[in-house]
Amino acid sequence: MSAFYISVAQNKAKTEVKKSQYSAADITVLEGLEAVRRRPGMYIGTTGPEGLHHLIWEVFDNSRDEAMGGFADDIEVVLLPNNFIRVADNGRGIPVDVHKQTKVSALETVMTTLHAGGKFGGEGYKVSGGLHGVGVSVVNALSEWMRTEVHRDGGAYVQEYVRGKRKAVVKKVGSSKLHGTVQTYLADAETFNKIEYDFDKVVAHLREQAYLVKGLRITIVDARQSAMELPEVGDALYIRAQLYHCPSQTFYFEGGLCSLIAFQNRYLKPVHKNIFYIEKEADGVNVEVALQYVDDLTSRVLPFANNIYNQEGGQHITGFRTALTRTLNAYARKAGALKESEENFTGEDVLEGLSAVVSVKLREIQFEGQTKGKLGSVEARGAVEAVFGEAFSTFLEENPEDARAIAGKVILALKARKAAKAAKDSVLRKGALEGFGLPGKLADCASKDPAESELFIVEGDSAGGSSKQGRDRGTQAILPLRGKILNVERARLDKMLASAEIKHLILALGTAIGDIFDLGKLRYHKIIIATDADVDGAHIRTLLLTLFFRHFRPIIDGGFLYIAQPPLYKIKKGKEVAYVYSDEEKNKLIGKDTVIEEESAEQEPSDERNAGAAGPTVSEEEGLAKSSKKLRVSIQRYKGLGEMNPEELWETTMDPVRRVLKLVTVEDAQDADRVFDILMGEDVGSRKTFIQSNAKLANLDI
Q: What is the mean pLDDT of the chain?
A: 82
Q: Which amino acid is at 144?
A: E
Structure confidence at residue 274 (pLDDT): 96
Residue 679: how many CA atoms within 13 Å on its side-chain side? 18
Same domain membership, residue 364 and residue 242: no
**pLDDT tens digit sequence for 155-175:** 999 999 999 999 999 999 999
Q: Which of 271-275, 409-413, 488-492, 647-651 has the lowest mean pLDDT?
A: 488-492
Cα dihedral 622→623→628→633 (10° resolution): 160
CATH number at residue 80: 3.30.565.10
**pLDDT tens digit sequence for 524-560:** 999 999 988 777 888 888 899 989 988 999 999 999 9
Between 23 and 581, the more confident residue is 581
Q: Which amino acid is at 61?
A: D
Structure confidence at residue 288 (pLDDT): 96
Q: Which amino acid is at 506?
A: I
Average pLDDT for 86-113: 90
Label the pairing between strands 476-481 and 454-459.
Answer: parallel
Same domain membership, residue 224 and residue 341: no
What percent of the chain has pLDDT above 90? 46
Q: Are 478 and 443 in contact (CB under 8 A)?
A: yes
Average pLDDT for 101-121: 75
Between 244 and 191, the more confident residue is 191
Structure confidence at residue 223 (pLDDT): 93
Label the pairing between strands 561-564 and 661-663.
Answer: antiparallel
**13 in a structural domain:** no
Between 639 and 376, the more confident residue is 376
Query: Band of the pLDDT at 682, cuts 50, 70, 90?
Result: low
Bridge partner list, 564: 661
Same domain membership, residue 123 and residue 246: yes
Same domain membership, residue 680 and residue 598: no
Q: What is the pTM of this model?
A: 0.67
* Reduced DSSP (H G I as helix, E B as strand, rest coil) percent helix, strand, coil of the chain, to 5: 40, 20, 40
Q: Is it the case that residue 616 has pLDDT exceeding 80?
A: no
Helix (H) or strand (E) holding 59: helix 49-68
- Number of residues that this document lists for the chain: 702
Q: Is it the case that residue 562 has pLDDT exceeding 80?
A: yes
Report the C-alpha gap between 155 and 178 in whole angstroms: 8
Q: Are 542 and 664 in contact (CB under 8 A)?
A: no
Between 67 and 701, the more confident residue is 67
Average pLDDT for 477-498: 85
Same domain membership, residue 410 and residue 282: yes
Structure confidence at residue 289 (pLDDT): 97
Average pLDDT for 138-154: 94
Q: Which of 156-165, 398-407, 630-639 has the lowest mean pLDDT?
A: 630-639
Q: Which amino acid is at 214?
A: K
Report the C-alpha gap between 645 and 117 in whole angstroms: 66
Q: Is it the case that residue 496 has pLDDT exceeding 50?
A: yes
* Burial classification of residue 122, based on how many CB atoms lie within 10 Å of its CB (0-12 exposed, 13-18 middle, 19 or more buried): exposed
Residue 405: strand, helix, or coil: helix
Same domain membership, residue 242 and residue 284: no
Task: Return the active site residues.
Answer: 459, 532, 534, 536
Q: Name the nearest CA neighbour of 636 among 663, 672, 670, 612.
A: 612
Average pLDDT for 440-454: 93
Between 629 and 493, the more confident residue is 493
Domain that holds residue 596: 569-637
| For helices 378-398 and 315-335, angle between their N-to-C axes, nearest 10 degrees | 30
Same domain membership, residue 196 and residue 117: yes
Report the C-alpha gap between 452 and 649 in whole angstroms: 20
Report the C-alpha gap between 122 and 100 in whole angstroms: 15
Report the C-alpha gap between 35 and 469 in whole angstroms: 55
Q: Which residue, 417, 438, 465, sits at the end of a domain?
A: 417
Q: Is it the case that residue 18 has pLDDT exceeding 50?
A: no
Residue 597: strand, helix, or coil: strand
Q: Are 35 and 112 in contact (CB under 8 A)?
A: no
Between 402 and 693, the more confident residue is 402
Average pLDDT for 311-323: 94
DSSP secondary structure letters along 310-323 = -TT-BHHHHHHHHH
Between 293 and 542, the more confident residue is 293
Report the C-alpha gap between 357 and 278 in whole angstroms: 11
Contact residues for 701 (Cβ-Cβ < 8 A; gap 6+): 533, 534
Query: Band of the pLDDT at 488, cuts 50, 70, 90?
Result: confident
CA distances from 374 to 60, 355, 377 (A): 20, 20, 9
Degrees (nearest 5) of the Cα angle 446, 448, 453? 80
Helix (H) or strand (E) holding 385: helix 378-398
Structure confidence at residue 298 (pLDDT): 86
Q: Which residue, 217, 251, 285, sits at the end of a domain?
A: 251
Count of structural domains within the chain: 4
Q: Which residue, 621, 637, 653, sits at the end of a domain?
A: 637
| For helices 315-335 and 400-433, angle between their N-to-C axes, nearest 10 degrees | 110
Same domain membership, residue 349 and residue 243: no
Q: Is it the case that residue 684 has pLDDT exceeding 80?
A: no
Label the pairing between strands 526-530 and 276-282.
Answer: unpaired
Same domain membership, residue 56 and residue 176: yes
| For helices 199-212 and 257-264, angle between their N-to-C axes, nearest 10 degrees | 140
**10 in a structural domain:** no
Q: Are 661 and 563 in contact (CB under 8 A)?
A: yes
Structure confidence at residue 19 (pLDDT): 45
Same domain membership, residue 267 and residue 205: no
Structure confidence at residue 297 (pLDDT): 85
